[in-house]
Chain A
Amino acid sequence: MEIGWWGVLIAVLGGAIRIGTPFLFVSLGECLTEKSGRINLGLEGTLVMGAMTGYAVSLHSGSPWLGVLCAGLAGMVLGALHSWLCSFQRVNDIAVGIAMMLFGTGLAFFLGKPYIQPSAPRLPSIDLGGWSDIPQLQAALQINALFLMGIVVAIALAWMLKNTAWGLKVRVVGESADAARALGLPVDRIRILSTAQGGFLAGIGGSYLSLYYPFNWSEGLSSGQGLMAVALVIFARWHPIGCLWVSLLWGGAAALGPSLQSVGITGGYYIFNAIPYIMTLAVMIITCSPRRTLVGVPHELTVTR
């Protein structure tokens, strides 16, 4: 079926979901971590480690879902390690984050050597395009259950941060550690738990890459997506629902470059491929103001202090 320019729209729609899902998980994880007052730059390493772990477990056990779970657990360990190191006096979370990023990717490359070649079982997809008789749209709407879970996690996280005692504790620790201590809250423990949970989500994001899309374990798999997700959190103003929209937007923008070439817009593909980054810069410039700090920023973050 000839679809011509509609192909671009379908690619952006499909890409938003396909490419956006790992961004969603990592940015939700980072959102929770940052709400507790820490920045975990190591999520790039966590993402890669999750991708490798998920692929390896799926290959050995034959169950991709077990792979997803183990990827989350691996991410959790890395997150806990990060926040444990940061809980010592005068340890800078950004420096530890960079170390964890290198450690996570290095470890994943080292352990992942035997898994580049074999093909692991893939996560199944759900057909949501059955109502349409356009095969291209059907393909774009073949989505993975992890995307739906990501939406549920985003809504749940937003609700819990706003309405539960646990959410309040995380926010207090993130806004002012001194106030939290005065209230008798265990600041370090709350941060360790938040960062570990954030790592869990980022690990799942990694397993989506290796077990669903693009479905492959290789050393070039992530190419900086974990780092971008950290920037997305700022873009999303530290709000889980914002993370959802921003991830979708980025996924769609990343699909634009290749799809324009497929309809014959062949020049300037380096520019089109750079659209997500240009977009981020633009939003940052438009929303910044010298008179006030960013809305929603947790005040304990080392970058804003």
Chain B
Amino acid sequence: MAASPKLTRRQLLKGTAAAGALGMLGGLRWTDQAWAAGKVKMGFIFVGPRDDYGYNQAHFEGKSAVAKLDWVKAFDEEKVPETIEVQKTMESMVKLDGAQVLFPTSFGYFDPHILKVAPQYPTIQFLHCGGLYQEGKHPKNAGSYFGYIDESQYIAGIVAGGMSKSGKLGFVAAKPIPQVLRNINNYTLGARSIRPNCTTNVIFTGGWSLPVREAEATNSLVDQGIDVITCHVDSPKVVMTTAEKRGIYCTGYHCNQSKLAPKGYLTGAEWNWAKVYMDYADMIRKGQPVPHLVRGGLKEGIVKVSDYNQVVTEAVRKQADAAKDKFMSGGMVVYKGPIKDNTGRVVIAAGTEHVQTDMWLESMDWLVEGVIGSTKS
């Protein structure tokens, strides 16, 4: 090497000035925090962009709703990877923003990240979105909340089955994990509840955000004659716009995508996180203990169904609404035997019922009869 790097006086001065500027910013932040004293301070962490028309946007909409309350101060950080990064984000939200409760919303944030940080701040609540919390095993100041969005998928499946001409539905899915399989199965069971010969053709893309492959999958499914499509990927935008371009129907996922496909968007399965976050905020303000597990579906208002498109016929609306009413009254059991998987094996014997809260359903590894696809990679 010719010359070794040396710190000149000029560089040193520059560095000091920059540090000073940062310090001032820090000061501004502090006054901001003081001003917010007495409010319920809630921190939200998202794995992707806030406005992805998908999973993260659904959570961000929930955060925005709760942020409107004048006794809440809500802040968020987006695009935080499921690595040590999220631990840093959680710590800075607690230390710098004074968060009382944190909502790390991505599945992979829980183990090991929340499990590592939560014990260090026993007065702070760490509430994770997903079904991973176990009583007794995990820290006392942690907990989890999740919604049974498969209930909404069941309704969307009824609408899809009712509106399809060919009786062939399509599903673009990321990976064969239990939550995804449950959505595929509910969609298919919904469709087959009113049209027993309906089939759902599944394509697994292998990743949560692969726009080109999602578009290809949609095109291939349309070529095979499916005429209603839905998906379970992080951002359904590409699937919806491609379906609209090919002139078929689609049903949405995560949040309302009717603007992307005004002609073909029949309905969709949406989260309603605003309800969950409002409830938590209220509990914390009143000083009530926060429950470790919050679960719910249509009845509890944690998930909802998009408004039907005007093309959805009266008869189909009635069938969908009837099922919805049954969910709302709590009398609906989707996984009621006899149910076979798509290899012909009986997975739920006649007379057996698995209600929505049954933990057995959370380890689903099979596809129901009528699904064309395989969970093997």
B-binding residues in A (CB < 8 A): 1-4, 7, 10-11, 14-15, 18-19, 113, 116-117, 119, 136, 139-140, 209, 213-216, 218-221, 223, 225, 254-255, 257-259, 261-264, 266-270, 273
Distance in angstroms between the alpha carbons of A262 and B172 in the assembled complex:
10
Distance in angstroms between the alpha carbons of A215 and B244 in the assembled complex:
12
Q: Which of B33-66 contact A (CB under 8 A)?
A: 48-49, 51-53
Binds A, one of B88-96, B148-156, B201-209: B201-209
List 7 other contacts, CB 8 Å, given A116-B49, A117-B51, A218-B211: A18-B215, A18-B219, A139-B222, A214-B242, A223-B210, A262-B223, A270-B377
Q: Which chain B residues lie closer than 8 Å to A225 at the CB level?
A: 212
Question: Is there a chain A Cβ closer than 8 Å to B246's Cβ?
Answer: yes
Least CB distance, A116 to chain B, in whole angstroms: 5
B372 touches A264 (CB 8 A): yes
Distance in angstroms between the alpha carbons of A2 and B223 in the assembled complex:
9
Least CB distance, A235 to chain B, in whole angstroms: 19
Least CB distance, B343 to chain A, in whole angstroms: 11
A257 touches B213 (CB 8 A): yes
Distance in angstroms between the alpha carbons of A119 and B258 in the assembled complex:
12
A270 touches B219 (CB 8 A): no
Distance in angstroms between the alpha carbons of A140 and B222 in the assembled complex:
11
Distance in angstroms between the alpha carbons of A92 and B48 in the assembled complex:
34
For chain B, give the interface size range. 35 or more
Distance in angstroms between the alpha carbons of A257 and B203 in the assembled complex:
9
Question: Is there a chain A Cβ closer than 8 Å to B23's Cβ?
Answer: no
B206 touches A269 (CB 8 A): yes
Q: Tell me the nearest residue of chain B to A116, going by C-beta.
A: B51
Q: Assuming the A-B contacts A119-B259, A269-B204, A270-B377, are A261 and B220 also in contact, with contact meaning beta carbons closer than 8 angstroms in the complex?
A: yes
A-binding residues in B (CB < 8 A): 48-49, 51-53, 79, 201-206, 209-217, 219-225, 234-235, 237-238, 241-242, 245-246, 259-260, 372-374, 376-377
A19 touches B216 (CB 8 A): yes
Q: Assuming the A-B contacts A15-B216, A214-B214, A262-B224, are A220 and B209 also in contact, with contact meaning beta carbons closer than 8 angstroms in the complex?
A: yes
Q: Which chain A residues lie closer than 8 Å to B376 at the CB level?
A: 266-267
B372 touches A258 (CB 8 A): no
Distance in angstroms between the alpha carbons of A218 and B54 in the assembled complex:
12
Q: Which chain A residues lie closer than 8 Å to B234 at the CB level?
A: 220
Distance in angstroms between the alpha carbons of A7 and B222 in the assembled complex:
10
Q: Which chain A residues lie closer than 8 Å to B245 at the CB level?
A: 215
Least CB distance, B204 to chain A, in whole angstroms: 6
Distance in angstroms between the alpha carbons of A259 and B224 in the assembled complex:
9
B209 touches A268 (CB 8 A): no
Name the 9 nearest CB pairs between A and B, nearest first: A266-B374, A220-B209, A214-B215, A262-B220, A258-B217, A259-B220, A117-B51, A136-B223, A261-B203
Distance in angstroms between the alpha carbons of A214 and B240 in the assembled complex:
11
Q: Assuming the A-B contacts A136-B223, A262-B217, A267-B374, are A214 and B206 also in contact, with contact meaning beta carbons closer than 8 angstroms in the complex?
A: no
B377 touches A269 (CB 8 A): yes
- Which of A1, A11, A117 touches B220 (beta carbons < 8 Å)? A11
A215 touches B241 (CB 8 A): yes
A10 touches B223 (CB 8 A): yes
- Which of A3, A119, A255, A257 touches B224 (beta carbons < 8 Å)? A3
Q: Which chain B residues lie closer than 8 Å to A255 at the CB level?
A: 216, 220
Q: Which chain B residues lie closer than 8 Å to A215 at the CB level?
A: 215, 238, 241-242, 245
B223 touches A7 (CB 8 A): yes
A216 touches B221 (CB 8 A): no
Q: Assuming the A-B contacts A3-B223, A266-B374, are A254 and B212 also in contact, with contact meaning beta carbons closer than 8 angstroms in the complex?
A: yes
Q: Assuming the A-B contacts A11-B216, A261-B373, are A119 and B260 also in contact, with contact meaning beta carbons closer than 8 angstroms in the complex?
A: yes
- Which of A116, A216, A258 touches B205 (beta carbons < 8 Å)? A258
Q: Which chain A residues lie closer than 8 Å to B205 at the CB level?
A: 258, 273
Q: Which chain B residues lie closer than 8 Å to A254 at the CB level?
A: 212-213, 216
Distance in angstroms between the alpha carbons of A15 and B218 in the assembled complex:
12
Least CB distance, B305 to chain A, in whole angstroms: 22
Distance in angstroms between the alpha carbons of A145 and B157 in the assembled complex:
38
B206 touches A262 (CB 8 A): no
Q: Which chain B residues lie closer than 8 Å to A258 at the CB level?
A: 203, 205, 213, 216-217, 220
Distance in angstroms between the alpha carbons of A254 and B213 in the assembled complex:
8
Q: Tell me the nearest residue of chain A to B372, going by C-beta.
A: A264
Least CB distance, A190 to chain B, in whole angstroms: 28
Q: Which chain A residues lie closer than 8 Å to B79 at the CB level?
A: 219
